[in-house]
Structure 1
Amino acid sequence: MTRLLKKREMEYPISQERLYYRIGEVSRITGIKPHVLRYWESEFRVIKPHKGGSLQRLYRRKDLDLILKIRKLLYEEGFTISGAKKKIRDFERAENSRVNLRLVEKRSRGIDHELLLAVQEELKGIRRMLE
């Protein structure tokens, strides 16, 4: 599946199947110059391009999405670098909370709560007998 990103009336395809993008491709897709992308890597620790044997930066889809989010925060919404960093941290915390909640819900589906209550009552009875 391919999504199109419009920039100055040009369309750049963003393929869902591609694993990595080079810095020049990311620059063309996002409209952010390579030196700015390298600067953002130092400022936003969440952007972590893979550097293969050729030492070329290879950005994943996740990195590309983050760069687009940062570009929006800085250029469209008027955030400062520090404000955008805070906003990105907040996004990450919210995402981590959603993931943790999904894990708890998934684990709790398999538990029979009535059985747990019965076991708890039985353990309380044994505890009283031992005291």
Structure 2
Amino acid sequence: MLKPVTPDTEKRLRIGQVARRLGVEPYVLRFWEEEFPQLTAARTSKGQRYYTEEHVRVLEQIRHLLYVEKLTIKGARQKLEGAASVRAPLDAIRGELQEIRRLLTENP
């Protein structure tokens, strides 16, 4: 699952910009949002979708799985879920190490 977006600090891309970058139509991105629980675009107060670079990386993975590896939606979803299950413990370890670094730099 992608982390929450902080609109003031992260570069935001609109759906059309991301669609052009990936070489797909915007409706394809909307469809992928429905099919892949890992992907949820943030929205402005007016309901417009926007994506961060992290979202784009996930979309690029989805595009690769579907268009290059020729997986079905179900197969791509399973492969992404498998990658996320491997990545989750690494993210937890990374967070702990960052906390240790912070503690060491605060209290010399």
- With normalisation by structure 1, the TM-score equals 0.63
| Residue identity opposite 1:68 in structure 2 | E
Structural RMSD (CA):
2.2
Among all aligned residue pairs of Structure 1 and Structure 2, give the percentage whose two residues are the same amino acid. Answer: 32
The answer for the alignment partner of 1:118 in structure 2 is: none
- Listed as ranges, the matches of 1:1-131 within 5 Å are 19-102=11-94
CA distance in 2, matches of 1:102, 1:58: 27
CA distance in 1, matches of 2:89, 2:10: 28
TM-superposed CA distance for 1:18, in Å, is 5.7
Stretches of structure 2 lacking an aligned partner (at least 5 in a row): 1-8, 101-108
Could you report, residue by residue, the CA deviation over 1:95-115 in whole angstroms, capped at 9, with x for unpaired residues? 11212344566789xxxxxxx
Stretches of structure 1 lacking an aligned partner (at least 5 in a row): 1-16, 109-131
Larger relative contact order (C-alpha < 8 A, sep ≥ 6)? Answer: 2
TM-superposed CA distance for 1:62, in Å, is 1.2
Could you report, residue by residue, the CA deviation over 1:46-73 in whole angstroms, capped at 9, with x for unpaired residues? 1111111221111111111110000000
| Residue identity opposite 1:70 in structure 2 | I
Name the structure with the higher strand share. 1
The structure with the largest alpha-carbon Rg is 1
The answer for the alignment partner of 2:105 in structure 1 is: none
CA distance in 2, matches of 1:27, 1:106: 34
